[in-house]
Amino acid sequence: MERQQWIELLQKLLLARGPGGQEDEVRQICAEALEGVCDELRVDPAGNLVGVIRAVAPAPPESAVKLMAHLDEIAMVVELVDADGTLQVTALGGAQPISFGACPVDILADEGSLPGVLSFGSMHNSGASQQGRDVLSGQVAWSDVHVVTRLSREALVARGVRPGSRVVLSQHWRQLFRVNDALAAHFMDDRAPLVALILAARQLAQRREALRQDVWFVCTTLEEESNAGAMYAAARLPGETTIAVEVGPVLEEYGTRLSAEPIINTGDQKGYYTRSVVQGLVAATEAAGVGSQVALLVDFASDASAVMSAGHCARGGCIAIPTENTHGYEVVLEAGIEACAATLVEFVLANPAAT
């Protein structure tokens, strides 16, 4: 797949709305991109998209490698529908009001979507209320924001808007923006890693004669909330090695920078990754000719660390595309997505199950 082709795929994925539990739009695009590339492709009961590229010669099931990138995005969920049709919302996943700002939103009703505006209230206030003081100080919490719908409670309920309904950033604000050699948008997490996963699958399919174990490509659900999709898949798919494909924060405290070199994570909130897998990923970046950034991402978690902590796999690792403004208006390098894909291919071709 040429660069312009995968950039167009990335734009399609960014426009697709995928809050946890409603990842259908994103999953469909990924399925179309992987159709004919994987030997088998299906949606499992947890909503994960699962594909496999098999080794030419039969391989032991335990030697299989699972590569995981998640379908869902940070979003909001309705807590209460007020009498005047205003929606009280809170975070779905690791979202904060600062992640979005005052902005247009899509309210995902039972049938279709409705427009709304995420509001902090007016900046022209005297600070007489706690909400006003929070807005003026910049310390805005979810209790300080609401969604303006300009519909009555009765009209919203009739359309299927209720507590638990998802609210996402509007497609109006999901366009890809180019910054010289970089690409910027909301929801590079985890759309850019999904593109890297799809690129890796396409490249691996062309080199399958060198593949010595099966490789499972798993586009997971509910990563931002609970890692439930990954844990379901890991408990049921063969293979003792799981690799999460993620975005990684660019921060001085981690020694990471915005570059094409993938971040190889050594550990996070849920534990440390397997030393041999970390070493294998670093070696794979060298084989791909891209280099690496090795980091301990303390305030972080991934599908792989969740799967390991639950005892659903013996070995785990995490490769991340360096990303500015994680969980905000995110920036990645074009070459960073391609370097991540190339590293994944070299990792699985190096037969990691043998280590």
Whether residue 167 is found in the same domain as residue 203: no
Residue 324, pLDDT score: 98
Give a yes or no: residue 246 inside a domain.
Answer: yes
Q: Which two tokens stand for residue 247?
A: 């975005």
Residue 136, pLDDT score: 65
Pick the last residue of a domain from 173, 207, 234: 173
pLDDT tens digits for range 58-96: 999 999 999 999 999 999 999 999 999 999 999 999 999
Give a yes or no: residue 225 inside a domain.
Answer: yes
* C-alpha to C-alpha distance for 38 and 312, rounded to whole angstroms: 24
> Which residues span the domain enclosing 103?
75-173
**Average pLDDT value over all residues in the chain:** 95
Report residue 158's pLDDT band, with 50, 70 and 90 as the boundaries. Answer: very high
Whether residue 237 is found in the same domain as residue 118: no
Residue 351 has pLDDT above 90, yes or no: no
* Among the listed residues 198, 236, 216, 233, the one whose alpha carbon sits nearest the alpha carbon of residue 35: 198
Give a yes or no: residue 180 inside a domain.
Answer: no
**Number of structural domains found in the chain:** 2
* Among the listed residues 349, 198, 196, the one whose alpha carbon sits nearest the alpha carbon of residue 280: 349
Query: Residue 21 belongs to a domain with what CATH number?
Result: 3.40.630.10
Asked if 183 and 14 count as a contact pair (C-beta separation under 8 A), the reply is no
Helices 188-205, 334-349: inter-axial angle, 10-degree rounding: 50
Give a yes or no: residue 203 inside a domain.
Answer: yes
From start to end of the chain, where are the E strands?
40-43, 49-53, 65-70, 75-81, 87-92, 103-108, 113-119, 146-148, 166-169, 177-179, 182-186, 215-220, 241-249, 263-265, 267-268, 271-272, 293-295, 315-323, 329-333
Name the residue with tokens 């009765």.
154
Residue 354 has pLDDT above 70, yes or no: no
Whether residue 264 is found in the same domain as residue 140: no
Whether residue 24 is found in the same domain as residue 85: no
Whether residue 249 is found in the same domain as residue 321: yes
Query: Residue 155 belongs to a domain with what CATH number?
Result: 2.40.30.40
Give a yes or no: residue 18 inside a domain.
Answer: yes
Report residue 10's pLDDT band, with 50, 70 and 90 as the boundaries. Answer: very high
Whether residue 10 is found in the same domain as residue 117: no
Q: Percent of the chain having pLDDT more than 70?
A: 99
Whether residue 192 is found in the same domain as residue 159: no
Residue 129, pLDDT score: 80
Q: Which two tokens stand for residue 153?
A: 């409670």
Give a yes or no: residue 42 inside a domain.
Answer: yes
Pick the last residue of a domain from 117, 140, 173: 173
Asked if 344 and 281 count as a contact pair (C-beta separation under 8 A), the reply is no
Whether residue 214 is found in the same domain as residue 298: yes
Give a yes or no: residue 178 inside a domain.
Answer: no
Whether residue 241 is found in the same domain as residue 348: yes
* C-alpha to C-alpha distance for 351 and 355, rounded to whole angstroms: 8
Q: Which two tokens stand for residue 2?
A: 């040429």
Report residue 130's pLDDT band, with 50, 70 and 90 as the boundaries. Answer: confident
* Among the listed residues 63, 121, 74, 20, the one whose alpha carbon sits nearest the alpha carbon of residue 325: 74
Q: Who contacts 291 (Cβ-Cβ below 8 Å, separation ≥6)? A: 261, 285
Whether residue 66 is found in the same domain as residue 133: no
Residue 166 has pLDDT above 60, yes or no: yes
pLDDT tens digits for range 283-311: 999 999 999 999 999 999 999 999 999 99
pTM, rounded to two decimals:
0.96
3-state secondary structure of 279: helix
Pick the last residue of a domain from 120, 149, 173: 173
Whether residue 336 is found in the same domain as residue 215: yes
3-state per-residue secondary structure call for 113-156? EEEEEEECCCCCCCCCCHHHHHHHHCCCCHHHCEEECCCCHHHH
State mean pLDDT over 47-68: 96
Whether residue 271 is found in the same domain as residue 141: no
Residue 29 has pLDDT above 80, yes or no: yes
pLDDT tens digits for range 257-275: 999 999 999 999 999 999 9
Residue 355 has pLDDT above 70, yes or no: no
Asked if 291 and 285 count as a contact pair (C-beta separation under 8 A), the reply is yes
pLDDT tens digits for range 138-149: 788 899 999 999
Give a yes or no: residue 97 inside a domain.
Answer: yes
Name the residue with tokens 């897998």.
277
